[in-house]
Each structure stands twice: as C-alpha cells, then as structure tokens.
Structure 1
Amino acid sequence: MAQTITVTIIGLGRLGASVGLALQRYNQKGNTPHVFEILGVEDRPAVMAEAEKRGAVGKSARNLYNAVQNRDIIVLALPYADVRRTYQAIGDGIRAGGVVMDLSPLAMPSVQWAKEYLSKDAHMISMTPVVNPAYLYDGLDDTEHAAADLFDKGSMMLMPSPACIPEAIELASDFSTLLGATVRFMDPMEHDALIGATLGLPTLLGVLSFYTLSHNAGWSDLQRVTNPPFGRLTHALFDTHPDDLRDLWLNSRHSLVNQLDLLIEQLTNVRQVLAEEDRSALEAVLTDAADQYSAWINKRHNNKWDDDPRTPRTPSTTESLMSGLMGGALTKRLRGGDKNES
C-alpha cells in the first residue's frame, strides 16, 4: 500500500498551484510507492476557487495554524509581503520534523524569519524555481496559467542555511526532482544578489517605465497605442501587488543599487550615441547584445551551463528517489520516531 505524504501549500498563485499540479501528476501515475495528500491555503477566494477548479489541491483551508499541524511538508508560495507574517502564524503549529520549503524570491530574509519564528525541531530550506524554458516569455503569473510541467526542464536552486540538517536538504532535493527540476545548490547570500539583478531589476524597470510614461504630458495618446511589448515590460503591475514589489526591492536593495548604477552608465552611453546619431556605435552595442543573448538562450533552453560548480542531482528514476523521500531513517529523523506511535 502506498505511503501517504501530507503536503500543505500556502499560496495558490501560479507557483503554488503548479506545485500541486505536479504532485497530482505523480499521484495519477499509479503503482507508486507514495501518494501525496495536498491541502491548499489561500486567503483570496477567487484564487482558491481557480486552484480547486484546476485540481491543484485535494482539500482547502483558511486557518494557517490548523493547516500546518501534523503535516510532513509545508510549501510557501506566497505574495512576498505576506511571508513574514505567515512564519509568525505557523511557527508554533509545525510538528517536530516538519519541513518548510520556502519558494520566496529571496533566501536570506526567510532564513532569518525561520530562525526567529519556527521551533528548533522544525526545518526550513529556501528554494527558487528556474522554470521550464517553454514559459520563459509568457510573463503570466496567475493561477489560471499554473501548469504541471512548469518545473520540467528547469532547475531548483536550493539554499540551505548552515543550521539545516542533511535529511531536510535531501528531502527538498528529492521533492524538487519529483516536480521535474534539476537540483542545484547555492549560497543564500549569493542567490539574493543574483535575484536582485534578474528579478528586482526587470520589475523595477517595468514599473518605472510605466510611471514615467503615465506621468508624461502625452499619456492620453500614448496609452492608446500599447501592444504586447509594453504589456510584457510592465506586467509586474498587473500580477504583483505593490507591497510585494516594495519588499522585494528593499530586501535586495544592495544588489539592486549596484545593478542600477551599471544600467544608468549604459543608458547614459546609449543616450549619447542616439543623440549623436552614431550608427556604428549603436550597431556595435546591438551586435554584442545579440551575440550574448544567443549564447544565453541556448544554455537556458538546454539547462546546461559552462563550468557550473553546482553539480545537478538527477536520480535515475522517480521510484528510486521516492524510496528515500520519506522512508527509513529519514522518516524517523524528521518525524521524531514512528508516526504510528502516539
């Protein structure tokens, strides 16, 4: 008989709902040694309804504290401004051996919040999905566009804190592989610096581009000729709450300020090139950018990187990785003994 693994997903936007759909995909294979019982928590009624409609969760709940009690795995996939208060709400409710997998965009703040609010017998590991390249350009971040294959052909960056026990890291690694991702490890501080560049900077540019144009004297005409390039640039204002953007930018401010300095320098240079109508200089910039882009996109689509020190971990079969997921010594260590003993 298949062993039941209980999972609570807190936050059912695209990311959280996709985790649920990927687990349901595993459940539907049949003849697997494990089955996931998925409970979803979401305080936005429309989002919860869409997640249930998509089949991302088996059951739903509204009370955070009750939703994490006696659960094996708790996945946090929340709007960023809600993460800290969620740690406060669930900290005392997680059983000894429970593992929190935090998919928040930044690792270091979550490491600190987990240290502050979780009991010493609960475990947390920060995880950042680098999603399936098929979805790289869609710019859609809502439950309606959740997908079971969102993590396929992508990576899961794991950022364990020094206090994280090896068994919890192994669990997060196996869980990530089951979702379809290749596992790679990264230092939390290094990770957050990179996220400031690849998430903080693009969202900041999109918001400021909209802010600048919307305060332009010609906005009444400008807004009439907006097409997909403008929508893709500014979509963060459509699917991300301002509070979430505020907290993301402030918590990654050191990296973001450095990236802004570099960008301002390049913008100043290009402004001069355009003002002087320097065709050769402009072509040189575009050619270099196009060459670099081509090299990057090929690596991104193949999920293969030159001189990558973060050796990916890819078990040979789902069954082999699941045999270690919640079995034997790992189960006893995380659960603090036999689950049937009470």
Structure 2
Amino acid sequence: MPVKITIIGLGQIGASVGLALAAHKDKVVTTGHDKEIGNEQRAKKLGAVDQTNHNLPASVENADLVLLALPISEIRDTFRYIAQDLRKDVVVVDTAPVKAEVVKWAREFLPETAHYVGIAPAIGAKHLAGTETGLDSARADLFTKGVFLVSTPPGVPGEAVKLVSDLIDLLGATPVLTDFVESDGLMTSVHLLPQLISAALLNATIGQPGWSDLRKTASRNFYAATAALADSDGVEALGMATIHNRENTIRSLNNFINALIDLRDDLEENEDSFRKRLSSALNGRINWLLERNKAEWTQMPDEKVERPSMMETLLGSKLGKMGRPKDG
C-alpha cells in the first residue's frame, strides 16, 4: 500500500519534492496544499502532486507523513491548524532553515501520537546558480546529490527517522543525522548569513549619498551580491529565523565583520597579505564547488535494529532498505 504524503507549501521546495516523488507512484501518493489555490492547480498540472486539497486540516487526515515546506513564519500556525486532524503515528516534517523554535512549537501544538522530524535541505550543485524562485523553479532533480540535515527531539521512534531518511533517498539526496544545535549553527552560516550580508550591502548603498549615480552603474556583481535577500522567504521569515536564533546569528555576523576588518587592515598596511586573503578566498570557493559537485558525503549511520523500518512496514523491504550502507 503506497505511503500517503501531504505536502503543505507548493513553492520551489515542496513542488520539487513532489516532482521527485512522481517517479515512484507505485510507492507514494502525494496530496498538495497551498494557501494560493492557483499554486495548487499549477502543481497538479505539472505533476508535482497526485491530488490537491485546499482545506488544510482535511489535507492531512490520512497522511502517513506531512511535509511543511513553508517559511518559518507560517509553521507555528500551521501546526496549530492541523494538530487535531493528524492520524496516530504520523511523521511531521518541516524544511525551515533553523529548528530551535520549531521544536518548541511542535511540542506545544502537535499531539503526542505525532512524531516531529526536522530537515534542512541543501539543493544539488547543479542548481546552485539558478535564479528562479517559487513554483516556477521546481525541478525533479533539485535535490540530486544534495544533503539534508536531519534532527529530532528526544523520544522520536527510530522508525520515524528511517521513514524520513528513505524519503530523502528517493529525492536523490544524502540524509545526515545531526542535532538541532549543530543544524542551526551550520544553517546560520550558510543560509542566514548571506541574506543578512545582502541586506547590509543594500543598506550601505541605497539611499546613501551618491546613490542617485550608483544606481545607474550597479551591475551584475551588485545584483549577485544582493540576490540572497530577494531570494529569501521574505523579511518576516528572515527576521524570525535570525531573532529566534540570535546567538548563532551574532556569532556569524561577528566572524564576517572580523573578516572585513582583516581585509581593511591589510589593505591599509600589508598589500601582500591583502592579495593572499583574496587568493585564499577564491581558491576556497573553487574547492568548495568541486566538493559540492562530487558530493561524496557521509550518509546517516544505519541503526542495528532487527525490527522492520516504518517504510519497510508500509512499502516492503526493498524500499525500506534503500540508502543503507553495503557490507564491506
């Protein structure tokens, strides 16, 4: 019997999950929900979901797994709206970049019979340079050779984690087990910080003396450097993610400020060191992209548990064993 998955939020992430799962229609049935009915209709037409349900509570009633692909600013209310309609032992998953506050909301609103698992997806290297956003940017291979950080509160059954791990395998990505503290620290540096740097650059230029002339000459470099803020889930979501993740964010901002100060000081006093810093930065980026394209990452360790996983129970042993390390 196919696993029933409800995807709430049919933007780039949610619709891409649906498109990837469309290749496994014998194993998975997807229901899509979005606050914009037009997105639901387009996602159905694109084949990103098998069916849609614009009634939010009803959309999750029979789901084995509910995926919230939403801005963090919408997750709390969504938990509250769907809580009473979740079936026993449902796995509830979100894709917000930081989890500390989401875990609190899960404890506050989700029933004890629901199992919360947080995931933080990183798209595959093939799509890093993409500029489209929203449903138009959804791709079946968006997560191929990407990484998903997987974290859970204490007490979540291993079967629930295994179900999420198997789902990530179907997306062509690598699940990496971590905890909320580590996940939030990592995502602050690589997800939130670029957006805040983008905001700082805009605040340092737009509206400042000379902007009337600068705006005429600002070109590709300025566009690229400020794109992170425009590509975010919006100011409300970014603000919430950073404020609820204040300690990590301040640490990351301080690291960035110190790096700027080092560049400034070397520019004033040591030209050789200044050039070395630029060269080191460029080489670091080149090496990072090489590693991202190779995607030779370590997968989640397989727990030595004799009982079948939740995915095995629902779908049979073949799918449930996907992604497990081979002996030898």
Identify which of 244, 268, 280 aligns with 1:251: 244
Paired with 1:321 and 1:259, the residues of 2 have a C-alpha distance of 38
Q: Is the 8 A contact 2:37 2:54 kept in 1?
A: no
Aligned to 1:125, what secondary structure does the other structure show? strand
- Corresponding residue for 2:208? 216
1:16 maps to amino acid: G
User: Do the aligned partners of residues 289 and 5 (structure 1) sit closer, same or farther apart at CA in structure 2, a change above 3 Å counting?
Assistant: same
CA distance in 2, matches of 1:325, 1:301: 34
Report the counterpart of residue 152 of structure 2 in structure 1: 160
- Counterpart position of 1:324: 312
Residues 14, 241 of structure 1: CA spacing in aligned structure 2 closer, same or farther, 3 A cutoff?
same
1:37 to 5, 8, 29: 29
CA 226–63 in structure 1, closer or farther in 2 if over 3 Å, else same: farther
- Spell out the pairing of 1:35-184 with structure 2 (5 A cutoff): 36-184=28-176
Residue 13 (1) aligns with residue 1 (2): no
Deviates more, 1:13-22 or 1:252-261: 252-261
The one-letter amino acid paired with 1:303 is: A
Please say if residues 131 and 155 of structure 1, whose CA atoms lie closer than 8 Å, have aligned partners that are also in contact: yes
Distance in 2 (CA, whole Å) between partners of 1:57 and 1:12 is 9
| Secondary structure class of the residue paired with 1:92 | helix
Amino acid at match of 1:110: V
In structure 1, the residue matched to 2:217 is 225
- The alignment covers a number of residue pairs equal to 311
Q: Is the 8 A contact 1:22 1:148 kept in 2?
A: yes
TM-score, structure 1 as length reference: 0.84
Contact 2:3–2:315 (Cα < 8 Å) also in 1: no
1:284, distance to aligned residue in structure 2 (A): 1.0
Task: Give unpaired runs (5+ residues) of structure 2.
Answer: 303-307, 318-328
RMSD: 2.3
Q: 1:50 & 1:226 partners in 2: Cα distance?
A: 35
TM-score between both structures, scaled by the size of structure 2: 0.87
Which letter maps to 2:206? S
Identity of aligned residues (%): 31
**Cα deviation, residue 76, structure 1:** 0.6
> Is the 8 Å Cα contact of residues 139 and 232 (structure 1) preserved in structure 2?
no
Deviation at 1:178, TM superposition (A): 0.9
Tell whether the 8 Å contact from 1:50 to 1:144 is kept in structure 2 after alignment: no
